[in-house]
Amino acid sequence: MLPSQFSSGDVIADRRADYARMLSEAEDFGAAAELMEQALELVPAWAAGWFRLGEFREKAGLETADEAYRQALALEPEDVFGARLKLALLGVEEIPDQPPSRYVEGLFDDYADRFDTALVEKLDYSVPGKLAALVAPHAPFRNVVDLGCGTGLFGAEIRGQAGHLEGFDLSLNMLARAEAKGLYDHLGQSDLSRSSEETGLFSDALPKHRADLVSAADVLMYLGSLETVFPLVLELLAPGGFFAFSVEDAGDGEAYLLRETLRYAHSEAYIRSLLVRYGLALLDMRKTVIRLDAGKPVHGILFLSRKPA
């Protein structure tokens, strides 16, 4: 739940929701759900409230959690809260190939101001440095396109090796933070779940096949199926260009799976199959811990591939 979205517009309902949150923090989820139900009697069209009710019911082990999530989705069809992902985790709907773009955009818009501190200092996030080390033997690069650039953590690592550095992200707040660092020669908004013409990656000033390095540091876990991403990368890459990226490690099972964190993990076999299908040669692969989550290590895989010259 995004704090900036959590207000019903009714003072009494908001107060009850706040008490419910405090009960939830004390792990009294059943009582929290009851208070949220009382708040929603006052404001039945409050989508964020229904979503939070779903969370409380889910944590309380109540079978009616899915009803609350479905009501949130009915009131907010663009699914800014990620209700479809929650329904998939409950096993009452299929895992979507992609998360809702509005959900991902809202998540990172709200996260932007504390992103660097939270990831680097608290979660021991290490992908940008490790990915930069992976590509270092092939530097310098004439033109680098940093997909899902966020606040510019990978940009800071690669700037000294890039003649021209472009950054693209779905979140405008993230792009504003990246711009303030003065790292990028060009920044733009882009949705990697869209078709080539709709991504914002190409224009008269941004031609195809312009990059000799495309990076995606900690981006692909916010996509399920990567069938749209690899064709985009091929369109971005010049002949002989490199594609460096990270995924969360799904192990030996399915192509990809949705985790309780609402992030996707991808299997090594799935990524290898995509590299083969799209004609990218695998140059290097490293399994490593990429961050902490609730104090536990999150395992990932770094890949370095190359388009034929």
pLDDT bin (cut points 50, 70, 90) of residue 5 is low
Q: Is residue 20 part of a domain?
A: yes
255 and 132 inside one domain: yes
Q: Measured between alpha carbons, how far is 208 from 234 in angstroms, rounded to an integer? A: 9
* Stretch 33-48: mean pLDDT: 96
Residue 2: pLDDT above 50? no
- The per-residue pLDDT for 306 is 98
Mean pLDDT (the chain) is: 93
CA-based Rg of the chain, rounded to a whole angstrom?
21
121 with 261, same domain?
yes
Same domain, 62 and 174: no
Whether 69 and 206 map to the same domain: the answer is: no
Residues 250 and 148 in one domain: yes
Tell me if 101 is assigned to some domain.
no
Same domain for 15 and 88, yes or no, is: yes
Question: What are the distances in angstroms from CA 162 to CA 7, 138, 139, 154, 219?
Answer: 44, 11, 8, 12, 20
Average pLDDT over residues 231-247: 97
- Once rounded to an integer, what is the mean pLDDT over residues 43-69? 96
pTM for this model (two decimals): 0.92
- For 212-229, what is the mean pLDDT? 95
Residues 124, 56, single domain; the answer is no
Q: How confident is the model at residue 195, as a pLDDT?
A: 80
Per-residue pLDDT tens over the stretch 79-100: 999 999 999 999 999 999 999 9
Pairing between strand 281-293 and 296-306? antiparallel
The model's confidence at residue 230, banded by pLDDT at 50, 70 and 90, is very high
- What would the two tokens of residue 116 be? 């660097």
Q: Which CATH number fits the domain that encloses residue 42?
A: 1.25.40.10
Region of poorest pLDDT, from 4-8, 14-18, 118-122, 144-148: 4-8
| 258 domain residue, yes or no | yes
Query: Can you give the residue range of the structural domain that contains 41?
Result: 3-94
| Residue-level pLDDT at 164 | 98
Last residue of a domain, one of 33, 59, 94: 94
Task: Let me know whether 205 and 79 are in one domain.
Answer: no
Model pLDDT, residue 11? 93
The CATH number given to whatever domain includes residue 155 is: 3.40.50.150
Q: Per the domain annotation, does 250 fall within a domain?
A: yes
- How many domains would you assign to the chain? 2
Domain boundary among 42, 59, 94: 94
Please say which residue of 45, 62, 94 terminates a domain: 94
Same domain, 137 and 253: yes
In a domain, 147, yes or no: yes
Residues 149 and 295 both lie in one domain: yes
Residue 299 lies inside a defined structural domain of this protein: yes
Give a yes or no: residue 203 inside a domain.
yes
| Residue 3 reports pLDDT greater than 80 | no
Task: Quote the pLDDT of residue 171.
Answer: 94
* 170 and 261 within one domain: yes
Residue 283 pLDDT > 80: yes
- 105 inside domain: no
Residues 78 and 188 in one domain: no
